[in-house]
Structure 1
């Protein structure tokens, strides 16, 4: 069995920086997905950007989606949606 050899300080710093970058990117991705859902995008349309629908839902739920407004809009009829959109309220506040 080979003897353990520690990483050099330069390599360790490089790895730590890369790990921090991955964590930051993951947080950015999750919040971007959740914000798109909160803004009214469908799970399917967000998933088409490169994620599975399950992952989209997981990230959304972890960051406060669906909001009460999202729930109301999900259950509204086509007539209600068309009426709301005609009034210019197609985007959540």
Structure 2
């Protein structure tokens, strides 16, 4: 499986990755050799970094071949909670 970084300019083979770790606002990778590693993505705040990291872990579990690190726009869409436009519940919610 491969991981494409957020900037889409570097690809990492998971067979050679030793560590994937998270700093304050950055997700980094350390490859099998001491000289190879890099940044998978830099995000605006800690919460966005946490969400991107959890999306990465879920992507690795699914093992679809290639995981692309989420952009800031992807994180905004994922973090948005749907609310009904009027704030009311829809019918059929099991009330008495």
The reply to whether TM is greater than 0.5 is: no
Query: Normalized per residue, which structure has more helix?
Result: 1
Task: Give the greater-gyration-radius structure (CA).
Answer: 1
TM-score normalized with structure 1 length: 0.22
TM-score relative to the length of structure 2: 0.22
**Structure in which a larger fraction of residues adopt strand:** 2
